[in-house]
Structure 1
Amino acid sequence: MPFNTLLLTCLIPGTSFTEQGATVRMEPRSGETLLFFAIDDQSNPGCGLRQAINLYDGAICDLAVFYVPSDRDRNILCLVELKGSELDRAAEQIRNTYRALSSRLRPHAQQVEWKAYILEHGSAPKLKRRRARETLQQILGKKAFAIKRDRDLGAFLRV
């Protein structure tokens, strides 16, 4: 079960994540549930998610954020990638992770609202940005992803 693996090997303390000088964060409000999982085994060697979801070929994204708003009306799982300028690669990492993880959660798929967030901390060509948007829109739909420079996930996840 992927959530067992996430909780036991990938959960990180707090509500922020930093990699190569880039940080994403979110301050939980009263009644909200917020968990950060460092899922890339290159930055978190102890995380066993790659093996649990059989993603041996292909890149995995940096972070999974589980968020439940205070009204408890949805369970959001947001896949996050921190990237300089390689936005098309970031979108591919999210796609790989989404496909592998969602297929393992299929019996509970109706209970999860999927989102994706790419933190852009470099300068990307327009073509790479467009390709990344197209990739994410194909797997998640128009409003379920963002490519931004904003380090705070709160405004995106609370929509």
Structure 2
Amino acid sequence: MCFNILLLSECFLPGKTSCEDEGVSVSLKPENGETVLFFSIDNSSCQLRNILGLNQPNMAICDSLVFYAKNQERIICFVELKRSGDLSRATEQVINTYNHFNTFLQKTGENFNFTFTPKAFLKLEGSVPQEYQRYKDRLRKTFGEDNYDHNGKSTDFGNFLRGIPRKSKGKRKKS
């Protein structure tokens, strides 16, 4: 029922390979054999908000869901885009949406023929707060190691969904 609502509602963004909010965006270029579906869930016309119980005033909900599939792998990524760089609020939004989504699936007893890996991607512009490690720990606890990212620079999050680790910048050698 949850996915039927997503696919048949205004939440579904057919043909889109990106999402945007407040001028901040993420995108990816699907590769052969990949299925990628974008859903805009932080809008009043998305019925998923009501079904998940995320329709209360000032309720923390992330901007988008991205469904990614390749071979036997299934990922549902909770995406939050922020111009302000508010890592605290962004973390709350992805975790709250995931918790309501997961609770709904357990309550309804939907019988999926697959399991999925939950991931969170937060694209923030602005400075990183001093409590950075605390938010990182919350994301790791909820989504697992390597299943969250809060990259403020890149807009292509395809490598993140595919599980390709980010290259570290390393230190420059002095001449």
Please confirm whether the aligned pair reaches a TM-score higher than 0.5, indicating the same fold. yes
Contact 1:40 1:61 in 2 (8 A): yes
1:89-128 alignment runs, 5 A limit: 89-106=89-106, 107=109, 108=112, 111-127=115-131
Contact 1:5 1:52 in 2 (8 A): no
Instruction: Indicate the residue corresponding to 2:137 in structure 1.
Output: 134
Q: Name 2:48's counterpart in structure 1.
A: 49
How many Å apart are 1:110 and its aligned residue? 6.0
Give the aligned partner of residue 19 of structure 1. 21
Q: Bigger CA drift: 2-11 or 89-98?
A: 2-11
Query: Which position in structure 2 is the counterpart of 1:67?
Result: 68
Distance 1:121 1:155, change over 3 A: same
Q: Whole-Å Cα distance in 1 between the matches of residues 80 and 27 of structure 2?
A: 13
8 Å contact from structure 1 (residues 115, 145) kept in 2: yes
In structure 2, runs of 5+ residues without a counterpart are 164-175
- Structure 1 unaligned segments of length 5 or more: list them: none
Determine whether 1:77 maps to 2:42.
no
Cα deviation for residue 109 of structure 1 reads 9.4
Match of 1:27, as an amino acid?
K
Please provide the CA RMSD for this pair.
1.6
Can you list the C-alpha shifts for 1:13-48, whole angstroms capped at 9, x where unaligned? 31111111111001101111000000102xxx3211
How far apart are the structure 2 equivalents of 1:151 and 1:35?
A: 17
Is 1:146–2:145 an aligned residue pair? Answer: no
Superposed displacement of residue 122, structure 1? 1.6
SS at the partner of 1:148? Answer: coil
Matched length: 153
CA distance in 1, matches of 2:52, 2:34: 27
- CA offsets 1:39-95 (integer angstroms, 9 cap, x no match): 102xxx3211110112234211001000012xx121100000012311011010111
Looking at secondary structure, tell me which structure has more helix per residue: 1
Ranges of 4+ aligned residues in structure 1 off by more than 6 Å:
none
